[in-house]
Chain A
Amino acid sequence: MNIFSQELKMSAASMIYWTASIVLFVLLFMFMYPPISKDVQVIESILSNFPPELRRALGMTTLDLSQVLGFYGFLFIYILLIGSVYAMKSGISVLSEEIRSKTADFLLVKPVPRTRIVSAKILSILSNLIVQNLLFMFISYIIISSYVNGSLDTRTFILINLSLFQVQLFFAAVGLFLSVLIKKIKTVLPVSLGVVFAFFVIQMINQSLNDPKLAYITPFAYFDVSKIIQNVGYDTSFLIINIIIIFILTALTYIIYQKKDIPSL
């Protein structure tokens, strides 16, 4: 419990900054919704001059930008991206913190088994992600509602938003796993950016090529916003794959961290 609350204290500020930045992102880009939805034909005629592969890669073909949730869904691709970088960064930094800041000689000589340290730290990430998602969902609901005449399709809205949490869990697990696998991590953010963008690019190629095999290796395809809007639901097999991957990576994290030699100062 003490490790958990200490971790929360150390990570709270960062969680708030990242949440604020995605809220700001939605707020700013929703300003563009009214003019775009009015002239959607014009925009679509411009877009139709783009090669179809590029349009697909950018997610422009399947989302209806004249609808508020379609537009939000388009923005959400980038919210997923930012949120994933945050989750990955949290995952990488939480267990490598003691090695990077050389505080292993403090925490790891305390009378706690290493598994308990891992659990407390994972729990702190989980709490941060839950709080972030609740905050974000609540604020963006208010923002989006203000652009709707009549009632917002709440079910679709929640399904879109919950995909953020699930993609974040994927990247947090990847981050945890990498952080125990790599001997000494010096910088966290560049690694996080690199890995998240790699998965994002795979999704762009996947959309552009319509290759169903590629979809299995990137969580951005597991939670394809346009399909969520179309089906008002998730693809069950992808949902399960995501859970299995998270489970395996977390288990490996426990095992490797338990056996890891902590490098000296």
Chain B
Amino acid sequence: MNVIEIDKLTKYYGKARGIIDVSFSVNEGEIYGFIGPNGAGKSTTIRTLLALIYPTRGSARIFDKDIIKDGHNIRKDIGYLPSEVFYYDNMKVIDILKYSASFYENIDKNRINKLAEIMDLDLYRKIDDLSYGNKKKVGIVQGLLHQPRLIILDEPTSGLDPLMQQKFFDLILEENKNGATVLFSSHILSEVQKLCSRVAIIKEGRIISIEDIKALQKNNYKKFKIDMGEAVNDDYFNINGVANLVKNASVYSFLFKGDINQMIDKIHGKKINNLIVEDPSLEEVFMHFYEKEA
């Protein structure tokens, strides 16, 4: 079953482009990545799904219900963490969490304490006195306390230190193990790489590709770094399937997609000082991808 189904969703702000014909669907139990540079339309898509803004054209369904008509029913089962969190002034952390909890039925009261403990959050401090990172923690607890079936994360890790990021990821993975579906928007690919199974790539308001992460990363590309011990042509390695070829003194580095034996043949018989072959990070694949598309 698809938890999210987006069909040609389009949003214009006046004449300004928000998103154009965005379509993708997220399976139940999946952690789905949503990546693209700032301003590509990630937040616009998410805000439309939450009915904070209304689409110009197209439609979307969550839990097989229309996001506009059934918005408030859908939102019972959604936990949302925005990229920046703001709360009403003059409230304590516990007040805001209790207020948030009051919107949902069957809340497990212990969950606030449990989540706060995991995220190392002091419940009795005033919101105004919290640092950016701590406010973010409030957002995390607030977004997860009603055990949502769908968790929507919009650039969730900004402001969290690496230790907290790790705890946060563990928390998300656990929720996922317990059945929650996750839509994870980010421009940081390594995060997406760590968590997600599939990813939709958005650029200038349009989905340009939907990829299986493991396939994207493992099966296709190898990253080569060859320190040549003898001089060769600048184009020597520029065969079919090579991308991002860079020569730095005697060191050639590039991405290669294709039969690895072809590359071994190229090196065979040449004198080389050093050779590194590795899986590229998603970042590198992605940059290549973006450059090709541009």
Contact = CB atoms under 8 A, between A and B. Distances in A.
Interface of A: 2, 6, 10, 101-106, 108-113, 259, 261-262, 264-265
Contacts of B88: 6, 10, 101, 103
Nearest to B71: A113
B289 interface: no
B86 A109 contact: no
A183 to B, nearest CB: 11
Q: Which 3 A-B pairs have the closest CB atoms?
A: A102-B86, A2-B102, A111-B76
Interface stretch (B25-33, B50-58, B164-172, B232-240): B50-58
Contacts of A259: 54
Contact of A111 (B47, B52, B53, B73): B73
Contacts of B84: 102, 265
A178 to B, nearest CB: 21
B38 interface: no
B52 A105 contact: yes
A111 B103 contact: yes
B287 to A, nearest CB: 27
B82 interface: yes
A261 B54 contact: yes
Contacts of A264: 43-44, 47, 52
Interface string B213-226: 00000000000000
Contacts of A101: 86, 88-89
B54 A103 contact: no
A106 B47 CA distance: 12
Contacts of A6: 88, 99
B86 A2 contact: no
B271 interface: no
Interface of B: 13, 43-44, 47, 50-54, 71-76, 78, 80, 82-90, 99-100, 102-104, 142
Contacts of B102: 2
A109 B50 contact: yes
Contact of A109 (B43, B44, B54, B75): B75
A103 B80 contact: no
B99 A109 contact: no
Contacts of B53: 261-262
Contacts of B50: 108-109
A101 B89 CA distance: 9
Contact of B100 (A10, A102, A104, A106): A106
A111 B72 contact: yes
Contact of B52 (A2, A10, A109, A112): A109
A261 to B, nearest CB: 4
Contacts of A2: 99, 102-103
Given A2-B103, A264-B52, 7 more contacts: A6-B99, A105-B85, A106-B100, A111-B103, A112-B103, A264-B43, A265-B84
A2 B104 CA distance: 11
Contacts of B72: 111-113
Nearest to B76: A111
24 contacts: A2-B103, A6-B88, A10-B88, A10-B90, A101-B86, A101-B89, A103-B86, A105-B80, A105-B82, A105-B85, A106-B87, A108-B52, A109-B50, A110-B75, A111-B103, A111-B104, A113-B71, A113-B72, A262-B52, A262-B53, A264-B44, A264-B52, A265-B82, A265-B83
A6 B90 CA distance: 12
A99 to B, nearest CB: 11
A211 B30 CA distance: 71
A109 B78 contact: yes
